């Protein structure tokens, strides 16, 4: 073979490799389609986004996820006749509940204990008293608050296997947000079991992520607590849950004081130390309970509480509008 031909061969080989490398660097995996559906569930709009190569499969999986959410909703409706929460309202001291409700209460009790009772699932009567979302809400009297708090506090609920024990028969259990968190955790489990690799469920701002978005992490915007329609920061996340509790969601103002729905069980008053708390945790049910607890505890004690949970991060906007994050989140938050 002549040198020239060898040279040509070499050049050709070089070009072919270069072309191959170029194609490889650009070659995306199979094109992802996206199924995005919303439904009114658990008192809020639940949006499921599933991304994958196979649309029919995604549709089926999303159907299953919504069905699971509906099942959890029915189980934990606050005033449902056959819901576990409704039966707990009527029950005396003991009640055997479904495994799902037991799981939610177990998670709630974990955070209740860790937070020294600042997270309390027995505040149903206090919430009804304040009636934040009612037609004509009024700050209740101190005596009424004291009465509503009777029987609450650390140890007001106990769980043995599937049997819930109320310390006071008059205790009204309110699972609130954590039932929603549990619901989206379960629904994500349904999607994962159906072979979906990239999905998100957003239940009125409580978010659980399955995998990443396909080509990049999910970009989560954190609502600015004082400027509606604006976001405070974004965080790129995958395979986790994000829940924000803020005093701007449900509130009214009287004489320049903001009364909102996150109550301090020690005083019976809305918490005053934070504007909003965002918690990133492996499960939404945990994130939900922790966000509520941290909101009441305030930035400093809140960060200490979060540090005691593995894989949990948080972003806290204090009452004065300043923000702090856990060390693990500091580099990931993009402020706006």
Partner 1 sequence: MALTSLWRRTRPFDRVVVLLLFILCAVLFVVLRPGPPGRRVVVEAAGRVVFTAPLDQDRSFIVTGPLGETRLAIRHGSVCIEASPCPHRVCLGMGAITRSGEILACVPNGVLVRITGTASTGDRTEPYDLLSR
Partner 2 sequence: MTSSPADHPDLPRLRRRVFLALFAALAVALHTLEALLPAPAPWFRLGFANILTLVALFCYGGRAAWSVALVRIGVGSLVLGNLFAPGFLLALGGGIPATALMTLAHRVGGRRLGPVGVSALGAAGHAAGQMLIASLVLVRHPGLWALFPFFLLFALLTGIANGVAADLVLDALRGHPAFSAALGVEEER
SS3 155: coil
Q: In Å, what is the CA distance from 222 to each residue of 167, 201, 236, 278, 309? A: 38, 16, 11, 8, 22
Q: Which stretch binds partner 2 (CB under 8 A): 19-27, 140-148, 165-173, 266-274?
A: 19-27
Q: Nearest distance from residue 29's CB to partner 2, in Å?
A: 17
Contact between 14 and partner 2 per CB under 8 A: yes
Can you tell me whether residue 144 is helix, strand or coil?
Answer: helix
Structure tokens at 297: 């505890």
Choose between 18 and 93: whose C-beta lies nearer to partner 2. Answer: 18
CB of 6 to partner 2, least distance (A): 12
Nearer to partner 1 among residue 75 and residue 306 (C-beta): 306
d(CA 169, CA 282): 34
Asked whether the beta carbons of 111 and 289 are under 8 A apart, the reply is yes
Say whether residue 11 binds partner 2 (CB under 8 A): yes
User: With CB under 8 A as the contact rule, which of the stretches 8-16, 112-120, 140-148, 304-312 interacts with partner 2?
Assistant: 8-16
Q: Which is nearer to partner 2, 12 or 150 (CB)?
A: 12
Q: Is position 17 an interface residue for partner 2 (rule: CB under 8 A)? A: yes
200 binds, among partner 2, partner 1, none (CB under 5 to 8 A by kind): partner 1
CB 225, CB 247: distance < 8 Å: yes
Q: Which does 93 bind (CB under 5 to 8 A by kind): partner 2, partner 1, none?
A: none
Question: In the structure encoding, which two tokens stand for residue 47, read together?
Answer: 């949006």
DSSP string, 175-193: -HHHHHHHHHHHHHHHHHH
Strands 157-160 and 163-166: antiparallel
From the list 6, 22, 45, 257, which residue makes contact with partner 2 (rule: CB under 8 A)? 22
Residue 314: its H or E element: strand 313-318
Smallest distance from partner 2 to CB 24, Å: 9
* Of residues 8 and 74, the one with the C-beta less far from partner 2: 8
Report how far residue 330's alpha carbon sits from residue 229's, in angstroms, rounded to the nearest whole number. Answer: 24
> Looking at beta carbons only, is 101 or 276 nearer to partner 1?
276
Q: Check: CB of residue 256 under 8 Å from CB of residue 203.
A: no
Look at residue 192 and give the partner it binds from partner 1, partner 2, none, a contact being a CB closer than 5 to 8 Å depending on partner kind: none
195 binds, among partner 2, partner 1, none (CB under 5 to 8 A by kind): none
Q: How far apart are CA 310 and CA 326, in angstroms?
A: 12
| Residues within the interface to partner 2 (CB under 8 A) | 3, 7, 11, 14-15, 17-18, 21-22, 25-26
């Amino acid at each position: 073979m002549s040198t020239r031909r060898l040279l040509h061969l070499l050049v050709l080989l070089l070009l072919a490799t270069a072309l191959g490398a170029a194609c490889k660097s650009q070659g995306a995996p199979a094109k992802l389609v996206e199924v995005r559906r919303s439904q009114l569930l658990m008192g809020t709009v639940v949006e499921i986004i599933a991304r994958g190569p196979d649309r029919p499969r995604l549709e089926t999986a999303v159907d299953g996820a919504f069905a699971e959410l509906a099942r959890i909703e029915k189980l934990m409706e606050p005033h449902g006749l056959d819901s576990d929460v409704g039966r707990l309202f009527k029950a005396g001291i003991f009640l055997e509940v479904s495994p799902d409700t037991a799981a939610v209460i177990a998670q709630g009790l974990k955070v209740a204990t860790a937070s020294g009772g600042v997270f309390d699932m027995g505040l149903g009567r206090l919430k009804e008293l304040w009636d934040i979302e009612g037609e004509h809400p009024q700050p209740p009297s101190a005596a009424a608050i004291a009465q509503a708090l009777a029987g609450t506090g650390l140890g007001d609920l106990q769980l043995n296997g599937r049997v819930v024990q109320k310390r006071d028969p008059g205790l009204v259990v309110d699972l609130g947000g954590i039932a929603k968190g549990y619901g989206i955790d379960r629904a994500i489990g349904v999607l994962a079991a159906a072979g979906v690799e990239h999905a998100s469920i957003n239940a009125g701002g409580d978010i659980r992520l399955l995998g990443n978005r396909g080509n990049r992490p999910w970009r989560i915007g954190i609502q600015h607590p004082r400027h509606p329609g604006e976001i405070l920061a974004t965080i790129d996340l995958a395979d986790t849950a994000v829940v924000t509790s803020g005093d701007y969601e449900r509130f009214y103002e009287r004489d320049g004081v903001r009364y909102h729905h996150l109550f301090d069980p020690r005083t019976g008053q809305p918490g005053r130390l934070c504007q909003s708390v965002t918690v990133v945790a492996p499960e939404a049910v945990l994130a939900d309970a922790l966000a509520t607890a941290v909101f009441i505890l305030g930035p400093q004690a809140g960060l200490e509480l979060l540090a005691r949970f593995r894989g949990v991060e948080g972003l806290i906007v204090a009452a004065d509008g300043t923000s702090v994050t856990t060390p693990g989140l500091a580099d990931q938050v993009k402020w706006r």
